Structure 1
Amino acid sequence: MSSKPPSPANPPNPSASPMADGAAGDGATEGIAPDQLRDDSGAFAWLRALGPRGRRAFGGAFGGYALDSYDFFTLPLSMVAIAAYFGLDNGQTGLLTTVTLVVSAIGGAAAGVLADRIGRVKALMITVITYAVFTVLCGFAPNYEMLLVFRGLQGLGFGGEWAVGAILVAEYASSKHRGRTLGAIQSSWAVGWALAVVVYTLVFQTFDENTAWRVMFFTGALPALLVIYVRRSVQDAPKATEQRKQAGKGSLDSFATIFKPDLLRTTLFAVLLSTGVQGGYYTLATWVPTYLKSERGLTVVGTGGYLTFLISGAFIGYLTGGYLTDKLGRKRNITLFAFLSAACIVAYTNIPEGANTLVLVLGFPLGFCMSAIFSGFGSFLSELYPTAVRGSGQGFTYNTGRAVGAFFPTLVGFLSESWGVGGALIFGAVGYALAVVALFGLPETRGRELL
């Protein structure tokens, strides 16, 4: 087998038989009867196509990303209380999110290299343990500076989990269903977000605010339970294991390869794409709870109710986007929802005073659009890189984009001092414009087999 990765500009024949793709080659169809293999239709065909081992991998990745989301949202939901406790301005509170996302670039790149060197499953467990430990430590922070340090270190695990989990499942999924399979993984972000809102509502109704934000961080220990399941039940796809053995555990070539001429253009434009989409997303995820409480005057329970509509839209958006990315193609799906997300931001932040019912109604399409754009990311980035460097490529591009996009929430925090939070949120639309520009430098990968 050649050690040189194929150029993304020359994909394998997408019309090849599904049995020749990464799923079949990886043993994803192990234990499935021939009649099931021929049943390639229906709402859950994508799940059947994974096979027993693939479904266990799906469960581990889904749980990991849901709890990754839960641990992330312990901060945005508690930001008002944290700001009051430590006497912070909006710029300082925004920096807590920014440092998490900036450090996540390091964590994502490191986790990608680890995934290529020691395997997807082992790397997944390391990332989950890392973000769980440092989330809990945030609850013990005696001052703002230590909270900033712990939150930054939480980003090491936070940055790597999605990329490693997405790759693990992508290598089991069939090319026909890869978009909706990874879209389903993405939907777990909304599940974790919803769980965080439920816990937030209960905790802040039970404890004084000065204690409640610490309790929220303490609940971040939950992901440790997932590691037990992953350790016992989940395995790497055979093809990835074979590639890793051939490359040698001590090699760092996988990271250097993504900057070589064959892949450099792909890497640069994938970073720009990730920057734009995540700049827009994290601007909203970080500041919408504060916007609802500080400028719309909602109570804790009221904020939770409004976020329910936003999160419901997000969950359905992830699933719908996963379906559309297989039907329309990766690039068309991203373009469509980039425009729709930008339009929703403009509408959401220009609702007249007193029209809080309209805020509620528009929360659903806002959550839908800003999540549906992510559904194709797992499949798109996985298909841009060959197996030997997939962890490094996906881990670096997704998380470097996340780190650069992380400056959007900080900028919004500083602008909000003069523009107000609602006015500054409009800056998130700029991120989606960057994403559309980036697509001009990337190939369409729908139907591409994983090599």
Structure 2
Amino acid sequence: MEPFKTIDSLKLNFNHIKIWYTAGMGFFTDAYDLFIIGAILDVFNAYKIPGFVLNPLYTGLLASSAIFTAIFGQLIFGALGDLLGRKKVYGVEASLLTAGAALSAISPNVLWLIIFRSVMGLGIGGDYPISATIMSEYANVKDRGKLVALVFANQGIGSLVAVAVGAISAFTLPPDIAWRVMALIGAIPAATVIYLRRKVPETPRYSALKGDTETLKKALGFVNGTKIDNGSESKNVKIKRMGLREFLSKYWLLLVGTAGSWFLLDIAFYGTGIYSGPIVSSILGKPSSLGTEIVYAGVPFMVGFFGYFTAVALMDKLGRKTIQTIGFIMMAAIYGLVGTLAISHGAKLIGFVIPATQAFALYALSYFFIDFGPNTTTFVIPSEVYPTSYRTTGHGISAAAGKTGAAITTFYFSVLLAQYGIKDILYMLGIISVIGAILTIIAVKEPKLKSLEEVSQDKVVLEEKNG
């Protein structure tokens, strides 16, 4: 009995792409913010703008405030997505994200900037479980991994735009205007999809969970005029709701796998991402201008851009678990190699046994494997492997674990960098990556080319209609 067989076997079409665009713009802003806050911090540190003079506490809060509130957004919206439905909360998170980014640009001082970035973070966090699940529940089986990965790949585009906006603003605008332009641009893509998100019907799987066959038909028609399969049009399609105790007893190891691997990944991704400027400067030396420093800091993100779309191309061929394992192993190898090649005196990096440009090229290559591997797959897998009644909750918990790792490393990374130096930091990240690979192998399941019902073990029943 496969009432969703028609939607699962659909060919990729324009409506899938429309859902991808609608779902993906929040992740543009997420990645844009990851890079741009580092550039904004560089502006504040270089020019001492009145009202925005930083001390270590303000620096840590400015870098991490959006990440801390994203944790709450992921948990809250993840729970609401399963409790109220994907449709009822879709667009709310994009509105918060847009408002927070826009208000950040007109902040009168650093305290208000921290507050507005916290609002933006709440929206960013809420976007993770809802957008991922909506794309997953509308996708066909053959292209589901590719489509969910494409939603996340908007991070790659956001990273490149952030590098361009940061550099151009630093080169051409006065410092007190440059940082505001950097902050404002992040609001625009999310603002374009608020209306579109409110028009997306409830997903077919959640409609079936509620036993709402009429909404289910509307959802199927939204994709491509499809119908409920296997003669089930004359019956009510119902996905059996799972109790919390049953969910935890069946999925606890998987939850450890998806949440734990995301936690480990984001320690590396956000630590090296937000503090890309100081890391790159420690390898290549201090650039001659702020604009040049921003461009140098953006080079690893440019390398990572190709990783996102390599993952998209191979997601449904190699499989999510394989890609995640390869990514973690290659991250560990690169961190270990660059650390071994480094020459340090205490916390101070003196040089490398190879030319610094070659060491930098090796370091930048880690971003390719981050974005090809666990940075993409940790987003994709939770949208597929959990039952419909806990899909956004499972994704939200996993994403919140990731952002917890991001918050910890963002808040403490600068202190660790100053105390231990880049060499020991790279060794630490290498060990974390090895643990991530082991956890993936032990606790993560492979959803490649399986229906959501098969991989999540959802129970679908057909009930006779009354009358």
Q: Confirm or deny a common fold (TM above 0.5).
A: yes
CA distance in 2, matches of 1:359, 1:150: 38
Distance 1:303 1:258, change over 3 A: farther
Identity %: 23
Aligned residue pairs total 408
Q: 1:226 aligns with which of 193, 205, 229?
A: 193
**Displacement after TM superposition at 1:22 (Å):** 5.3
3-state secondary structure, aligned to 1:213 = helix
* C-alpha distance in structure 1 between counterparts of 2:88 and 2:445, whole Å: 31
**1:280 CA drift (Å):** 1.2
Match of 2:35 among 50, 73, 84: 73
- Highest RCO, 1 vs 2 (Cα 8 Å, sep ≥ 6): 1
**SS of 1:260 mapped into structure 2:** helix
Which AA in structure 1 matches 2:13?
Answer: G
Name the counterpart of 1:331: 321
Aligned to 1:98: 64
Among 270, 275, 287, the residue aligned to 2:263: 275
Following superposition, which runs of at least 4 residues in structure 1 exceed 6 angstroms of deviation? none
Give 1:445 deviation, angstroms.
2.8
Distance 2:3 2:258 in 1: 23
Q: How large is the RMSD of aligned CA atoms in angstroms?
A: 3.2
Tell me how far apart the structure 1 counterparts of residues 286 and 31 of structure 2 sit (CA, whole Å). 26
The AA in structure 2 aligned to 1:446 is K
Instruction: Give the drift of 1:297.
Output: 1.0
Residue 19 of structure 2 aligns to which amino acid in structure 1? A
Structure 1 gap ranges (5+): 1-15, 30-48, 248-252
Offset at 1:304?
A: 4.5
Q: Map of 1:376-415 to 2, 5 A cutoff?
A: 376-415=377-416
User: Aligned partners of 1:371 and 1:258: how far apart in 2?
Assistant: 34
How far apart are 1:408 and its partner, in Å?
1.6
Verify the 8 A CA contact 1:104 1:403 in the aligned structure 2.
Answer: no
User: Secondary structure at the residue paired with 2:140?
Assistant: coil
Q: Does the aligned pair in 1 maintain the 2:258–2:381 contact within 8 Å? A: no
Instruction: Report if the CA contact (8 A) 1:257-1:263 is conserved.
Output: no
Query: Displacement, 1:147?
Result: 3.0
Name the SS for the 2:262 alignment partner: helix
Deviation per CA, 1:121-151: give whole Å up to 9, x if none.
5533111111221122223444444333332
Match of 2:444 in 1: 442
- For residues 82 and 422 of structure 1, the distance between their equivalents in structure 2, rounded to whole angstroms, comes to 27
Between 1:438-447 and 1:348-357, the stretch displaced more is 348-357
Structure 2, unaligned runs of 5 or more: 214-240, 343-350, 454-467
Question: Which structure would you say has the larger Rg?
Answer: 2
| 1:420 to 1:360, Cα distance in 2 relative to 1, 3 A | closer
Q: Residues 388-408 of structure 1: CA distance to partner in whole angstroms, max 9, x if unpaired?
A: 221111112112232234202
Match of 1:24 in 2: 6
Relative to structure 2, which stretch is displaced further, 289-298 or 338-347? 289-298
Distance in 2, Cα, partners of 1:201 & 1:230: 32
Output the amino acid matched with 1:56.
K
The answer to whether structure 1 residue 343 and structure 2 residue 309 are counterparts is no
CA distance in 2, matches of 1:93, 1:23: 52
Task: Tell me the TM-score normalized by structure 2.
Answer: 0.77
Mapped partners of 2:22, 2:282: distance in 1: 38
- Give, in angstroms, the shift of residue 340 of structure 1: 0.9
Give per-residue Cα distances to partners, 1:350-399, cap 9 Å, x unaligned.
56369453355335522211101123234311222012221111112112
1:322 equivalent in structure 2: 312
Q: 1:103 to 1:276 in 2, by over 3 A?
A: same
Relative to structure 1, the CA distance from residue 24 to residue 314 in structure 2 (aligned partners, 3 Å threshold; closer, same or farther) is: farther
